[in-house]
Structure 1
Amino acid sequence: MSNPVVIDATPGQSYADITREFEAPAVAVFRAHADPEFFKSWIGPRGYETRITDWDFRTGGGYRFEQGGEEGTFGFRGVFHTVRENELIIQTFEYEGAPDEISVDVIRFEELPGGRSRIVDHSVFASVDALETMMQQGMEVGMREGYEQLDELLAAGR
């Protein structure tokens, strides 16, 4: 059984707090976010292929990736504002299909007992509508399926 993604989005607010636990240490979960080859193998919904077009994982660096599936190809980009190894990523996130709707994500990697870990993500959107649109367009499904794929890779020793 997979650990659930918990998205706490208060109606009328433009932010969401997202938590997810993993049966792996924080160093492994952080590496899955830092390494572009690893990242593209789990990010997003099942059935989508991810192609990294830009990846500079460092404070002040940036990224861009595309995901393709039956519904077409979708581009995403952002800037890594702060990277603290195995501990913290502060980044922007923009779906290119909704330009100017950028979220700022503060992602913390926490160690838990027994070699487990937790991601705590505070995601701030430009408006209440922007967050609601992301939720309606399947944010929860993409996160849940992506983290399930990450669980499978980590369990296989990746």
Structure 2
Amino acid sequence: MTAKIETKQDTSDRELLMTRILDAPRDLVYEAWTNPKHIAQWWGPKGFTNTIYEMKVKPGGVWRFMMHGPDGTDYPNKVVFEEVIKAERLVYTHGSDDDNDPNSFHVTVTFEDQGKNTKLTMRMVLKSAAALAEAKKFGAVEGGNQTLDRLEAYLPTM
């Protein structure tokens, strides 16, 4: 029997990590994140709206949507789910319909029960340190925080 040897690559130079404690139970936060009716209401930075074309939250499932910017620009998005553990973890690749999208990135979202609250952690790993620097230059940190602000504001309405 051969032992499987795993090596873990250090991604810290191309990683964006966002954490938020949300005043809502984990099941509700997960529902807001995985139900197209809900995610369309809060996803994206301030001023953005969404059209959800499909959302199949299962391994191999696809979430296709268009983000509409406040200036009228449309941003096509495609998410392919790799791992789905209900109310605990989502792992996916986020990019566009171009399977070789140079701007695609890998995402892990965890939902951690903290009594009546939920600790949400979103870890995005870009393809390179340069890609991370470019994303930051275009407001990825601010946009991510605004997206989580919108989620936080939406949860009490559910």
TM-score with structure 1 length normalisation?
Answer: 0.83
CA shift, 1:99, in A, is 2.5
Alignment check: 8 A CA contact 1:78 1:93 kept = yes
- What is the match of residue 93 of structure 1? 94
Offset, 1:106: 1.3
Between Structure 1 and Structure 2, how many residues are aligned? 145
Listed as ranges, the gaps of 5+ residues in structure 2 are: 1-11
Counterpart residue number, 2:44: 44
- The aligned amino acid for 1:61 is G
Residue 121 of structure 1 and its aligned partner are, at CA, apart by 2.1
The DSSP-based 3-state class of the residue aligned with 2:13 is coil
1:59 aligns with 2:59: yes
Could you say which residue in structure 1 is the equivalent of 2:71? 70
**Separation (CA, whole Å) in 2 of partners of 1:90 and 1:74:** 21
Q: Secondary structure at the match of 1:41?
A: helix
Q: What is the TM-score normalised by the length of structure 2?
A: 0.83
Q: 1:112 aligns with which of 95, 111, 114?
A: 114
State the match for 2:35 in structure 1. Answer: 35
* 3-state DSSP of counterpart to 1:27: helix
Q: Amino acid of the residue matched to residue 129 of structure 2?
A: V
Q: Identical aligned pairs, as a percentage?
A: 21
Map 1:11-30 → 2, pairs under 5 A: 13-30=13-30
Gaps of 5+ in 1: 1-11
Q: Which one has a larger percent strand, Structure 1 or Structure 2? A: 1
Deviation at 1:51, TM superposition (A): 0.5
